[in-house]
Structure 1
Amino acid sequence: MYRIFSCITELHHPGFVIMAALLCVVGAAITLRLYRRARETQGIQQVGWCVLAAGTAGSTIWSTHFIAMLGYRPSVPIELDPGLTSLSLLVAMVGASAGLMLAILPRWRLAPAIGGAVCGLGISAMHYLGMLAYRVQGLVSWDHGYIFASILLAAGLSAFAFQLAHKSRPKWYRHPALFLSLAIVSLHFTGMAGFGVSPVLLEHAVTNPPVLQALAFAVGGVTLLIFGAGVASYLIDDSVRLESLTRFKYLAMYDGLTGLPNRESFSRNLELALSQARKSGEQVGLLFIDLDGFKAVNDLHGHAAGDQVLQQLGQRFSALSDERVYPVRLSGDEFAVVLRLQSKAALEAFVEQLQASIGEPMETSFGLFNLGASIGGAIYPQDANSKESLLSNADLAMYRAKSELSRQVCFYEPEMDERIRLRKSLANDLRIAIEENQLQVHYQLQTDLASGGVRGYEALLRWKHSTRGDISPVEFIPLAERDTTILALGEWVLRRACQDAASWTQPLSVAVNVSPMQFIHDDLASLVQRVLDDTGLPPERLELELTESSIFADRDKALAMLTRIKEMGVSIALDDFGTGYSSLDILRAFPFDKIKTDRSFMPTIEENPQAQAIISAVLALGRSLNIPVLAEGIETPGQLELLRNMGCAAVQGFYLGRPKPMSALVEAGQLSLLGAMQPA
C-alpha cells in the first residue's frame, strides 16, 4: 500500500495527477448518465446512446491514463509510440462498448455486474497496451502481483459501479461514478507501482517537459470536447422529453378541440374544491350543461360545423373562467362547471351569465347558429355531502331540465329528483333484464267472430322485477323509448315471439307490436328478415302492429320500410285506430292487412251512442277498403254481442282470454308443441 502511495506522491507530478483525476470523475459521471439513458430506451435509440456512452467512457479511460503517464517521472528520458498510443484509445472504446451492451441486457439480474467487469478488463487492456507505447531509456521490470491486483481492482470496482447504476437514487458515498473513477485510477496507480526502470542513458537522449505539458493540456481539452458532446446530447434529449411530457400531460388533461379541461381534470379539480370547502366553510356549486340543438347542427351541416360551434363555446367558457370558476368539456356536447361560491344566489347569477354566453349567436363558415342548453345544478354541502352524491344530484337536475320543456335550468330538488333517480335506476335494471333474459312474453287470444275459431295470439311483454315485482309495460316502455334501449327490447320481443310461434303445431299467427323508435333508428326490414331466418317462422304467420304515430314520425321512410316488410309476406296491422291522427290518407297510401280499434271505446260502447257510431264507422270503412277490423278490450258478453251484430271480423280481450305465458296455454291444451319441444 505504501508503495502505491509513494508512486502517486513521489513518481507523479501532482498537477498531472489532479488533472487526470478530475477528468476521470467527470467522465465517469457523464458515462453513467448516458448508460442510464440507454437503459430507458429501446431499439436504434438504445444503440445510439450506448455508442455515445462508449465514446465518453473510452475517452475518459484513455485520457486519464495518458495524462497520468505524462505526469510520471521515471528520471530517464521517455518517448511515446504514436501507433500503439492510438490503438490503446481504440481498445478502451471497444472494451467500454462491449461492457455497456452486456450491462443493458434485459431479464438478466447479473448483466450489469458482468458488463461492468468486461468494461474493467477493457480498462486494463488499454492501460497495459499504453504502457507498451511508453518507451524509456532503461530496462523495464514488472511486479506481477501488482499487475494482477490492478486488473482485479479494475474489473471488480467497474462491476460494482454498473450494478449500483441500477439503483434509482444512490447516496453520494455510494455513487456509481465514484466507483467507476476508482476502477480507472486504481488500475493506473497500482499497475505503475509494479513498474520499475533501471536507467540506461544514451547520448543526446532528453525529455522535453514543456512539450509533455502542452500535450497533456491538448489531450485534456479534446476530452472535454467529447464530454461536452455527451452532455449536450443528454440535455437536448432531456429538453425534448420534457416538451413531449408537457404535451402528453396537456393532451391527457385538456380537450384538444375546445382547449377546455377534460373529464380527468374535472374530477381532480372537483375533489380539490370540495377539500378546500371542507376547510374554509365555502360552498361548491356544480353545473352540468347539455346543449340543445347541437345534434341538428351536426346532422344538417356535418361534424365540421359542429366542431366550429364547440370551439366558439370553448372560447366563451374560457372567458368566464377564473380562480373560482372552472369550466370543462366532458364529452360531445356535454359540459360542466365547478364553482367555489358563498351562496346559491351567486350560482344563480353565474347561470344567467352562462345562458347569455351560450345563447349568443355563433357565426361559422356554415352559417349563423343559435343554440340553447339544459342546465342542472347542485350545491355542496346543502344538496350533497360527498363528491359522488353531488355528481349524481347535479345530473338528476339536468335530466329534469331536459325533460321539462318549460324550464332550461333546474337545481336539485330532493322530492322531484328522487323520482327521476328511481326512473333512471329502473331503466338501468331494464337494460340488465334484456341482457340476462329476465323478461317474459305472454300471449293473448285473438278470436274470429264468424267462426268462433282462434285467429292467432298477440305477444305482450311482461317484466317481473327481482325486488319490485310485476312492472307494467305502461311504466317501463316509455323508459326504454327515452334512449336506444327500445331497439334492444323490440328485437328481444320479436325474436322470442317468432321462436315460440315456430314451435307451435297449429299454424297460428303471432302479432308483435313495433315501437315508433324502431322506424327512426333501426333497419326494421333487415331485422325482421334476420329473425325469420334464425327462427324458421314462415313470414305469413308473423303480423307487425304499429300505430299511426310510427308513420307520421317519418312518413316516407316508414311507408317504404313497410312495403319492404309486406313484400316478405309479413302482415301489417294498424293499431289503436280511432285515436291520434286517424288519417284516411294513411289507409289510402298503404294497404294494411288489418285495422285494430283502440280499447278506449269499449268500456262505454254498450250505453254510449257516440262510441257505437265511431266503431260502426270504422267497421264500414274497413269493409269498403276490404281491410278486416279487430276490436280490442272486450270484457263483457254485451260488448261481444254488440260487435258481432255490427259485423266486426275479430276480437280480443279479457272476456275471451287474459294474456298468459306459453307454458300455461300448453297446459290448458290451447297450444301444442312440435315434438318434444318445451316452452321457453
Structure 2
Amino acid sequence: MMLVMACIGGKHNIWLVLLAAFVCVSGSWAIFRLFQRAANTTGPEKIGWHFLTATAAGSAIWCTHFIAMLAYDPGAPVAFDAVLTIVSLLVAIGGALVSFVMATSGSSWLTPITGGSLLGVSIAAMHYTGMFAYRVQGIVDWDMTYLVASIVLSVVFSAVSMHLAVNGKFNRRLAAASGVLALAIVSLHFTGMTAFKITPLSTAGAFTDHAALQAMALAIALVGMIVVGTGLVSYLIDDRTRADSYQRLRQMAMNDSLTGLPNRVSFNDRLDREIRAAGNTGKRIALVCIDLDRFKEINDVRGHSSGDEVLRTLALRMSDLLRDGEFVARLGGDEFAAIHHAHSAEALNGFLARIETAMFKPIRIGDFEVTPGASIGVALYPDDADTKEMLINNADLAMYRAKADRTKAVCFYEQGMDETVRARRTLAGELREALDNNELDLHYQVQTAVSTGEVRGYEVLLRWKHPKHGFIPPSEFIPLAEETGLILQLGEWVLRTACAAATSWTPAYKIAVNLSPVQLSHADLPKLIHEILLETQLPASRLELELTESTIIADKVRTLHILRQIKQLGVTIALDDFGTGYSSLETLRSFPFDTIKLDRSFMSEVETSPQAKAIIRAVLALGKSLSIPVLAEGIETQSQLSLLDAEGCDAAQGFYLGRPAPLDQIMISGQISRIEAGIAA
C-alpha cells in the first residue's frame, strides 16, 4: 500500500521509501515496547518512561517523514526552513508525550482511544509543520479532500493502535498495535503528499546529486534509530534489572535468609507437589518434622549470634547429607522439616540416621562446644494421612512424642498419639490456669539429722490437685512445664511462696527448693533469688537450692559461674540424685556444693544388694574426705536408718521420717513440729 501511494503525487526514490518504511515499522515496535513499560509503572518512574517513549516516538515519526520527503522529487529546487523543521520534531515529541500520558490516565475504555486520537493529531501536526518547512521553487496547491483524509486516517489508525496496545494479550496486541501505528504514519504521509501539488517555476538548482540526498536520508535514519535504540536499550536494561530483582526477591521469598535453606513457602509448595506425585504413582513419602532441643538455652546462655551460628551449621550439614528425592527446609525459629521418598524402610531409616547424626554432633563456637540435639517426628503419606494438613499435624504429633520421651530422638506417628498429645496440650493449658488461679500448693518433707533425729530443714515440693483428675504427679506436669516454658513462672512462684512462708517459722529451719535445668539456664536467676530474699526478708543462709548433675553437664562453665553468684548471696547448694546419671568426682571437685543428696534408688536396695551398700559407704566416705555433708533420700524403714547411722551419714529424708504435707499439717501451736528419728510421720 505504501509503495502504491508513493507512486501517487510525484516521483519517489524507492530505496529511500523502503528506508522510511523500515524506520517507521521498527520505530513503531520499539514505541509500544516502551509504552508497555510506562503503563505498568507508577509515580516519577512512570513519567520517566513516558518521556522516553515520547522521545522515541517523536524521533521515529519525524525521521520517517523527512526521509520520505527526501525520497520525493518535485522536479524543482527545494530547501528546508531550519526553525520549522526543529519545531516539527518538538511537536511530534510533545504531542506524543501528552497522548501517552492521557492514554494511561484512566480506567475507562475511552481513555486509550482518546490518547490515540491525540497521537494521530500530533502526527498530522508534525507532518504539516514539516511541510511548511519545505521550500520549493514552484506553485503549491493543496487538494483539501486528500488533506482531510490524511488527518482522519492518522487519527483513526492511531486510536486503534493505542486501543490494541492497552487491551488484549500482550504479544498479540504489541504486534497489532505496532502495525496499525506504522499504517497511521504511512497513510498520513503519502495521502498528505498526494494532496501536495507543485507546479515548478524553475528547474535550476534542483536536486541532482542523488548520492548526497541518500547520504542525508541515511544520516537522519541513523540519528532516529540511535534515539529509538537508546530508548529500547533502556527498556532492555530495565527489563534485565527487573528480572534480576525478581529472581532476588523470589530467592528471598522462597529461601530462608539466615541459613539459605528453602523456607516455609517453598516447603508447602514442594510438599503439595510431592503429595500429588505420590497420589498419581502410588508411592509413599515421609514427612520429617525436626525441633531442636536446646536452642532456647543456647540463645539465652551464649546469645543470639551463637544461636544463628548453630542454625547455619545445622543447615549446612543437612544440605550436605541430602540425596536424590530428599528435601529439607527451615520453617522458622528452631524448626526444620524434611521430605523423603520412602521407597523402603531401610532407606528411610538411613535418612533419619543421617539427620540424627547431624543434629547430635557437637558444634564448636569460639572456645566452647554445644550439642543442640533434636526431637524428630515422622509421618508417612498415604499410610498415616490422606491430606497435607493431616500429614503435617501427624508428623508434629510424633515430634512432640519424641520430645516428651527423653530416651529416643526419633518417633514415628501412631494413631493413639492424637489423643495423647491433645490431652497433654489440654493439661498444659490447665496448668497455666492453675498457676493464675492459685490452685497449686506447696508440700514440705522433713530432713533430719541421722544421729540425733533433730530436724535440719524441709524440702519444698510442688503439688497440683486438678479439679477433675485429682492429684497430678510432678513427674507428669513438671516436664510439661519445661516444654512450654511455664517452668520459669512456676519456679519463681515456688521460690517466692516458700521463702515467704519460711520467714515466720520458729525454729528457723532451712528450706530446700529444687531448680529445673531451664531455670538454671536463665541468666537472671541470681538476680531473681536476691530480689526474693530481700522481698521476703528470709536470711540467705536458710535457703538451699537443689540441682541434679544432668543440669550441670549441659554447660559446666556457665553453670559454675551462676552457682558462684548464688553462693555469694549466702545461699547453699545441694547436688541432688547423686549416684545416678553423670555423677563424677570432677563435678564434686569443680562445684561449690554444700550438700550431697544420695539418690533414693540405693536405699531401696541396701538391705538386699551388697553393691548398693558398698556404693553408699563409698559416697559417705567421699563426702567426709571432701567435707561435704551427705543426705540420704528414700528412708522407709528403721533398719535403713540404723545402717546410715552406723555408716556415719549426716542427714536423711523419707516416708519413715515424714511424708510430704501442706504447711498447716506440720504446724503445731505456731511451731514447726520436731520429728524424732525412728518415729514415722
Q: Give the TM interval when normalised to the shorter protein.
A: 0.5 to 0.7
- CA deviation map 1:531-583 (0-9, x unaligned): 999xxx987899999655599798766667768999xxxx99999999999x9
Which residue is equivalent to 1:268? Answer: 269
Q: Given residue 230 of structure 1, which amino acid in structure 2 is its aligned partner?
A: G
Aligned-CA RMSD value: 6.1
Paired residues of 2:29 and 2:175 also in contact (CA < 8 A): no
1:55 paired residue number = 55
1:457-476 maps to which residues of 2 (within 5 A)? 475-476=476-477
CA distance in 2, matches of 1:548, 1:337: 37
Going from structure 1 to structure 2, the CA distance change for 1:461 and 1:193 (only over 3 Å counts) comes to farther
Q: Secondary structure in 1 aligned to 2:53?
A: helix
Deviation at 1:34, TM superposition (A): 0.8
**Share of identical aligned residues, percent?**
35
Instruction: Indicate the residue corresponding to 2:382 in structure 1.
Output: 381
Aligned to 2:395: 394
Offset from partner CA, 1:385-437 (integer Å, 9 cap, x none): 3333333333444444455454444433444xx17x63466337635874999
Q: Which has the higher contact order (CA 8 A, sep 6+)?
A: 2
Alignment check: 8 A CA contact 2:38 2:46 kept? yes
The equivalences for 1:420-459 within 5 A come to 422-423=420-421, 426-427=424-425, 430-431=428-429, 434=432, 439-441=437-439
Query: Does the 8 Å CA contact 2:487/2:519 hold for their aligned counterparts?
Result: yes
Distance 1:377 1:516, change over 3 A: closer
Residues of 1 paired with 2:315 and 2:306: CA distance? 15
Q: Take 2:569 and 2:382, find their aligned partners in 1: how far apart are those partners?
A: 57
Where does the alignment leave 5 or more consecutive residues of structure 1 unmatched? 447-457, 502-510, 590-596, 623-629, 649-654, 656-680
Cross-structure match for 1:79:
79
Contact map agreement 1:400 1:410 (CA 8 A) in 2: yes
Q: Distance in 2 between matches of 1:147 and 1:93?
A: 22
Counterpart of 1:507 in structure 2 is none
1:481 Cα deviation after fit: 1.3
Q: Any conservation in 1 of the 2:9–2:196 contact (CA below 8 Å)?
A: no
Q: Distance in 2 between matches of 1:435 and 1:159?
A: 72
**What's the secondary structure of 2:384's corresponding residue?**
coil
Matches of 1:149 and 1:463, distance apart in 2: 98
Asked if residue 280 in structure 1 is aligned to residue 281 in structure 2, the reply is yes
Partner letter of residue 60 of structure 1?
A
Q: Is the 8 A contact 1:376 1:410 kept in 2?
A: yes
Alignment match of 1:306 (pick from 299, 305, 310): 310
Aligned to 1:224: 225
Alignment-mate amino acid for residue 31 of structure 1: I
Mapped contact 1:23–1:220 kept (Cα < 8 A)? yes
With the length of structure 1 as denominator, give the TM-score of the two structures.
Answer: 0.66
Alignment correspondent of 2:67: 67
Find the residue that maps to 2:439 and give its secondary structure: strand
1:432 and 1:328 mapped to 2: Cα distance?
35
Are 1:133 and 2:143 counterparts? no
1:316 lines up with 2:323 in the alignment: no
CA 1:158 to 1:485, structure 2 compared with 1: closer, same or farther past 3 Å? farther
- Residue matched to 2:202: 202
**1:29: which partner in 2?**
29
Report the counterpart of residue 346 of structure 1 in structure 2: 347
Post-superposition offset of 1:358: 7.1
What secondary structure does 2:8 align onto?
helix
**Aligned match of 1:481:** 482
Q: Deviations over 1:313-341 (max 9, x none)?
A: 145224x33xxx22313256654432224
Stretch deviating more after TM superposition (9-18 or 235-244): 9-18
Does residue 95 of structure 1 match 2:99? no
- Secondary structure at the aligned position of 1:10 is classed as coil
Aligned 8 A contact 2:77 2:202 in 1 = no
Contact 1:438 1:463 in 2 (8 A): no
| Whole-angstrom distance in 2 between the partners of 1:445 and 1:373 | 35
State the match for 2:9 in structure 1.
Answer: 11
Matched residue of 2:518: which SS? Answer: helix
* Contact 1:434–1:489 under 8 Å retained in 2: no
* CA–CA separation in structure 1 for the residues paired with 2:434 and 2:520: 25
The answer to whether the Cα contact below 8 Å between 2:96 and 2:122 also exists between their aligned partners in 1 is yes
- After superposition, residues 284-299 of structure 1 pair within 5 angstroms as 284-289=285-290, 299=302
Post-superposition Cα deviations, 1:185-206, rounded to whole Å, max 9, x if no partner, equal 3433444454344x25136242
How far apart, in 1, do the equivalents of 2:471 and 2:110 lie?
A: 68
Q: Does 1:237 find its partner at 2:238?
A: yes
In the TM superposition, what is the alpha-carbon distance from 1:25 to its structure 2 partner? 2.7
Asked if structure 1 preserves the Cα contact closer than 8 Å seen for 2:155 and 2:184, the reply is yes
Tell me if 1:123 matches 2:123: yes
Give 3-state SS (helix, strand or coil) of 1:165's partner: helix
Gaps of 5+ in 2: 445-459, 502-511, 597-630
In the aligned structure 1, how far is the partner of 2:103 from the partner of 2:340?
Answer: 54
